[in-house]
Amino acid sequence: MGDRPSSPPGSVDSDREGDPIVELIPLIRRVVAARVRDYQLVDDLVQETLARVMAARHRIERDTLAPYAVTTARNLIIAVGQGTDRARRKAHLLVDGAADPPADHDLLQEEETSLVGLALARLSPAERDVLLAHEVEGTGTAELAARREVSPGAIAAQLNRTRAKLRVEYLLADGAVVPPTDRCRPVLFALSTGDRRRQRELDTAGHLLECDCCLELSVTLFDRRPPVEVADEARVRVTVDADVVTARQKGREIAARAGFTPTELTVIATAISEIARNIVKFAHRGEIVIRMIDEPARCGVTVVARDAGPGIADVSDAMQDGYSTYRGLGLGLPGARRLMDEFDVASEIGKGTTVTMAKWRNRPAAIPSKMTSEGPPR
Partner 1 sequence: MLRIGGYLIASLHTGLDDGQLASFRRAIVDEVGRGETRGVVIDLGAVDVLDSFACFAVWQITQMVGLRGADTVVVGVAPDVAFAMVKLGVDLGNARTAADVDEGLNVLQLHPHADPGTRPGCSVRQITGKAACRW
Taking the complex as a whole, how short is the minimal distance between the CB of residue 246 and partner 1, in angstroms?
9
Measured CA to CA, the distance from residue 169 to residue 179 in angstroms comes to: 11
Using rule CB under 8 A, residue 335 touches partner 1: yes
For residues 166 and 244, which CB has a smaller minimum distance to partner 1 in the complex? 244
Taking the complex as a whole, how short is the minimal distance between the CB of residue 205 and partner 1, in angstroms?
24
Beta carbons of 167 and 96 less than 8 angstroms apart: no
Rule CB under 8 A: choose which of 245, 313, 349, 371 binds partner 1.
245
Using rule CB under 8 A, residue 332 touches partner 1: yes
The stretches of the chain forming alpha helices (DSSP H) are 14-17, 20-35, 39-56, 65-89, 105-121, 125-135, 141-148, 152-175, 184-193, 196-202, 204-210, 212-224, 241-257, 262-278, 315-318, 333-339
Which letter does DSSP use for residue 138 in this model?
-
Rule CB under 8 A: choose which of 71, 270, 354, 356 binds partner 1.
270
CA atoms within 13 A on the CB side of 153: 0
Measured CA to CA, the distance from residue 170 to residue 112 in angstroms comes to: 9
Using rule CB under 8 A, residue 334 touches partner 1: yes
List, in sequence order, every beta strand (DSSP E) within 59-126: none
Taking the complex as a whole, how short is the minimal distance between the CB of residue 273 and partner 1, in angstroms?
4
For residues 127 and 264, which CB has a smaller minimum distance to partner 1 in the complex? 264
Which letter does DSSP use for residue 31 in this model?
H
Taking the complex as a whole, how short is the minimal distance between the CB of residue 244 and partner 1, in angstroms?
8
Question: Rounded to 5, what percent of the chain is helix, strand, coil?
Answer: 55, 10, 30
Rule CB under 8 A: choose which of 34, 79, 146, 240 binds partner 1.
240
For residues 145 and 331, which CB has a smaller minimum distance to partner 1 in the complex? 331
Using rule CB under 8 A, residue 266 touches partner 1: yes
Phi and psi, residue 262, nearest 5°: -55, -40
Measured CA to CA, the distance from residue 56 to residue 11 in angstroms comes to: 10
Beta carbons of 311 and 351 less than 8 angstroms apart: yes
Rule CB under 8 A: choose which of 273, 302, 347, 353 binds partner 1.
273
Using rule CB under 8 A, residue 362 touches partner 1: no
Using rule CB under 8 A, residue 262 touches partner 1: yes
Residue ranges in 80-109 that form contacts with partner 1 under rule CB under 8 A: none
DSSP β-bridge partners for residue 299: 294
Taking the complex as a whole, how short is the minimal distance between the CB of residue 263 and partner 1, in angstroms?
5
What would the x/- binding string for partner 1 be over residues 169 to 208, using CB under 8 A? ----------------------------------------
Measured CA to CA, the distance from residue 186 to residue 88 in angstroms comes to: 39
Binding part of the chain for partner 1, among 63-71, 158-166, 239-247, 302-310 by CB under 8 A, reads 239-247
For residues 245 and 371, which CB has a smaller minimum distance to partner 1 in the complex? 245
Rule CB under 8 A: choose which of 74, 207, 277, 359 binds partner 1.
277
For residues 274 and 287, which CB has a smaller minimum distance to partner 1 in the complex? 274
Rule CB under 8 A: choose which of 116, 267, 304, 319 binds partner 1.
267
Measured CA to CA, the distance from residue 123 to residue 115 in angstroms comes to: 13
Rule CB under 8 A: choose which of 127, 169, 274, 307 binds partner 1.
274
Beta carbons of 243 and 281 less than 8 angstroms apart: no
How remote is the C-alpha of 368 from its chain's centroid? 39
For residues 310 and 335, which CB has a smaller minimum distance to partner 1 in the complex? 335
What would the x/- binding string for partner 1 be over residues 310 to 329, using CB under 8 A? -----------x-----xxx
Using the Cα atoms of residue 330, residue 332, residue 335 and residue 341 in order, give the sign of their dihedral. Answer: negative
Measured CA to CA, the distance from residue 228 to residue 171 in angstroms comes to: 23
Angle at 214 between CA 290 and CA 278, to 5 degrees: 40
Taking the complex as a whole, how short is the minimal distance between the CB of residue 355 and partner 1, in angstroms?
14
Contacts of 240 (CB under 8 A, 6+ apart): 280
Using rule CB under 8 A, residue 269 touches partner 1: yes
DSSP β-bridge partners for residue 107: none
The residue ranges that bind partner 1 (CB under 8 A) are 240-242, 244-245, 248, 252, 262-263, 265-267, 269-271, 273-274, 277, 321, 327-330, 332, 334-336, 338-339
